């Protein structure tokens, strides 16, 4: 049996739809950042050179889904679950994910293309694209996206700043 949501106001329905849309947008941005479709996120970092925007987006998306779940549970037959420890326990992992990734993120959890770029000789002077990918980008027809990618590849953007390599006593 499906629960009835007859007590939901228009504001709550808007919150559900808005939370779902924001969660979908954050998961789509995470997917594009991790699969290499969008690589510009590696150029923007905190002073500590942490480059982990997709991971924060994913944690934020999970947090929004928990808010969505809490709102739906509140107006369903399971409203007792919407209170107290159940929702608090569901909210802790995404909050900890955002908090931890603000200070530390293990490099091995990054996508393969990012690890390979970091392992290159001078990542601070190169764009995060392989030679094959650069050839494919240069062969594309002219478009704003091609111009943006070429600017990143050629180093014409002043925002390029790769994470600092740490030796840790090596």
- The tens digit of pLDDT for each residue in 143-165 reads 888 887 787 777 654 444 455 55
Residue 2 forms part of a structural domain:
no
| pLDDT grade for 11, boundaries at 50, 70 and 90 | confident
Domains identified in the chain, total number: 1
d(CA 42, CA 113): 11
pTM above 0.75, yes or no: no
Rounded mean pLDDT, 80-96: 79
Residue 84 forms part of a structural domain:
yes
Rg, the chain, Cα only? 21
* Three-state DSSP string of 69-130: HHHHHHCCCCHHHHCCHHHHHHHHHHHHHHHHHHHCCCHHHCCHHHHHHHHCCCHHHCCCCC
**Higher confidence at residue 79 or residue 49?**
79
Rounded mean pLDDT, 71-84: 75
Nearest alpha carbon to residue 59 among 89, 115, 120, 100: 100
Backbone angles phi, psi at 104, to 5 degrees: -160, 140
Rounded mean pLDDT, 25-37: 85
Residue 135 forms part of a structural domain:
yes
Rounded mean pLDDT, 22-48: 77
Residue 167 forms part of a structural domain:
no
Place of tokens 């549970």: 73
Residue 169 forms part of a structural domain:
no
Question: Taking the C-alpha atoms of 80, 85, 91 and 93 in order, what is their torsion angle to the nearest 10 degrees?
Answer: -140
Give the pLDDT score at 145. 81
Residue 163 forms part of a structural domain:
no
Residue 168 forms part of a structural domain:
no
Containing structural domain, residue 70: 10-154
Nearest alpha carbon to residue 130 among 27, 32, 36, 7: 36
Residue 108 forms part of a structural domain:
yes
């Amino acid at each position: 049996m499906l629960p009835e949501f007859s007590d939901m106001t228009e504001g709550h329905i808007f919150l559900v739809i808005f939370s779902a849309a924001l969660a979908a947008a954050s998961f789509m941005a995470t997917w594009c950042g991790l699969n290499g479709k969008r690589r510009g996120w590696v150029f923007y970092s905190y002073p500590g050179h942490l480059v982990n925007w997709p991971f924060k987006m994913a944690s934020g998306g999970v947090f929004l889904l928990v808010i969505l779940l809490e709102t739906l549970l509140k107006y369903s037959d399971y409203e007792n679950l919407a209170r107290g420890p159940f929702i608090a326990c569901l909210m802790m992992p995404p909050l900890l994910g955002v908090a931890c990734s603000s200070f530390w993120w293990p490099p091995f959890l990054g996508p393969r293309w990012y690890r390979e770029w970091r392992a290159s000789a001078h990542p601070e002077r190169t764009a995060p694209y392989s030679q094959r990918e650069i050839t494919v980008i240069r062969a594309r027809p002219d478009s704003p996206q091609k111009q943006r990618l070429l600017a990143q590849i050629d180093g014409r953007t002043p925002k390029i700043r790769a994470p600092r390599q740490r030796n840790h006593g090596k």
